[in-house]
Amino acid sequence: MLLRKGVVWKNYDRESVLYDLENDSMLTLNETSSRILKEVLVYKNEHQKIAMNLQIENQECEYDELYGDVMECCNTIFATPYFTDEPENAAFVSLIGLVTSLETASIEITQNCNLNCKHCYQGEHVNEQSILNLNKAHLIASKLGELGTLAVVLTGGEPFLHPNLVEIVEAFNDWNIRVVIFTNGQIIQDETIRKLSNMNVLIRISVEGHNEEMNDFIRGAGTLKKAMEFSNVCRENNLSIGYSFTINNKNEKYFCDMLQLAEDMHADEIEMSEILNVNQDPDISSLMLSEKQSKDFRINTLKGFSISKAFRKGMGLYRYKKGPEYICSAGTTNIFIDINGDVYPCNLFSNNSEYCAGNVFSEDLLEIWRKSKVFIELRNLKKEDLEGCANCPASENCKGGCRARALLESGSLKGKMEKTFCNVTNMIVEDMYNNVFVHN
């Protein structure tokens, strides 16, 4: 039997885990099962040889008993959908065991974009033609594959403007890495979508409202209609789709309507996040949520978890939780690679060269991941290190919040988040303790 495509095998101390990236399921194997599977898949040992090796280490056990255990273990494991007997559907086998596991990498593949959205903090790049060279994309794919990365998110600009988008997705899939393409859904390329339908990919479409009034105010006239046409073409080709909504002070009150739109379009994943003003743009300032709106949105998010599987999935409730627990995922389980190959904890750090951990084209990514001072600093952060968090009753829930946003707000990685975030978090935690949500 062979490990199936779309399945990644990762080692965690005394156990290992099989992750099915296509179906978001996982199978945890104990120490002995992991050892037996390693002997079969990596060392290509027969059952008899495995039993003999186990007897050397466990001399009090009878060979026949160990052989029976090996047979039962293999039969049980190989009967699961994580394996296949078809060579063409087999995965690249690598048992990954890093101190800190790189789960997801966001990769900027182009800076060219066909829209000029009001809330975008990437800056003006409508006429820029800078793209990630295909050979460099292959290099990034191989380095991330060797690290056992589970998924990549292709960002821009607009990824569908990249002339080699299909080949880039294929490069990551060849390393058994799932791909998410973050798109505005304005470019309908039938042949590209048809080719992508045969790959391990999800298309995540950005929209900002449930109707044209809400969406087109941010993204431009006709963009919602075009995004829905794009969605339908993806669905007709059996492509998995997701939706991403940025919540501002205009669309916040339509939370349920936006969730319903995505459900009606048969979204596999739904993501919502508050608008950010990274560059202190006055136009974006006029769209920021008030404290009450922020609280309402976060309460609606909690309620949304109870009614929508796609929302739970898109917001990360099903993400892999094995390994150490950190303050923030930036630089601890996730990274961002910009178009020049510079590596950052996440895209919100990318305007600050002080937090560039290295360059994937000129340095070894494994060395960057393991030894970068930037990443080590983030991994070593404790709640007690953060300003105002040590004695805050709400910090057990928020864990101190996003460190990039704290850096933007206070100038320090250990600084406080925005005042609104802290106030709202405390109010929600207090309401939870008082069972307010039970009665509403």
Summarize pLDDT for 99-127 with one digit per residue, the tens.
Answer: 457 889 999 999 999 999 999 977 655 54
* pLDDT of the residue at 78: 94
Tell me which residue of 386, 399, 387 sits closest to 425, measured CA to CA: 399
- Which tens digits make up the pLDDT trace of 325-343? 788 899 998 999 999 999 9
Neighbours of 302 (CB within 10 A): 11
For the chain, percent of residues with pLDDT exceeding 90:
68
pLDDT above 80: residue 414: yes
Question: Which has the higher per-residue pLDDT, 390 or 203?
Answer: 203
CA atoms within 13 A on the CB side of 25: 5
Phi/psi for 77 (5° steps) reads -65, -45
The first and second tokens of residue 318, run together, are 């099903």
pLDDT above 70: residue 436: no
pLDDT above 90: residue 361: yes
Residues pairing with 28 in the sheet: 17
pLDDT above 60: residue 97: no
**Surface-to-core class of residue 187, CB atoms within 10 Å of its CB (0-12 exposed, 13-18 middle, 19+ buried):** middle
Phi/psi for 248 (5° steps) reads -120, 180
Mean pLDDT of the chain: 90
pLDDT band of residue 396 (cuts 50, 70, 90) is confident
**Surface-to-core class of residue 316, CB atoms within 10 Å of its CB (0-12 exposed, 13-18 middle, 19+ buried):** exposed
Work out the average pLDDT over 273-300. Answer: 93
pLDDT above 90: residue 55: no
pLDDT band of residue 399 (cuts 50, 70, 90) is confident
* pLDDT of the residue at 327: 86
Most confident of the following: 23-27, 38-42, 50-54, 323-327: 50-54
Does the CA dihedral 53-58-61-66 come out positive or negative?
Answer: negative
Tell me which residue of 230, 229, 157, 168 sits closest to 199, measured CA to CA: 168
**Surface-to-core class of residue 181, CB atoms within 10 Å of its CB (0-12 exposed, 13-18 middle, 19+ buried):** buried
* pLDDT of the residue at 320: 52
Place of tokens 């904890």: 345
DSSP-derived 3-state class of residue 178: strand
Rounded Cα gap, residues 338 and 420, in angstroms: 30
- Which tens digits make up the pLDDT trace of 148-169? 888 999 999 999 999 999 999 9
Most confident of the following: 52-61, 133-142, 387-396: 133-142
Please answer whether residues 242 and 151 qualify as being in contact, where contact means their C-beta atoms are separated by less than 8 angstroms.
no
Work out the average pLDDT over 50-79. Answer: 92
Tell me which residue of 429, 407, 409, 430 sits closest to 418, measured CA to CA: 409
pLDDT band of residue 201 (cuts 50, 70, 90) is very high
Rounded Cα gap, residues 191 and 172, in angstroms: 20
Rounded Cα gap, residues 333 and 21, in angstroms: 16
Count the residues in the chain: 440
Can you give the C-alpha Rg of the chain in angstroms? 23
Question: Which has the higher per-residue pLDDT, 260 or 280?
Answer: 260
Q: How many helices (H) and strands (E) does the chain have?
A: 18, 14
Work out the average pLDDT over 240-269. Answer: 97
pLDDT above 70: residue 41: yes
* pLDDT of the residue at 127: 47
Rounded Cα gap, residues 340 and 430, in angstroms: 45
Please answer whether residues 289 and 421 qualify as being in contact, where contact means their C-beta atoms are separated by less than 8 angstroms.
no
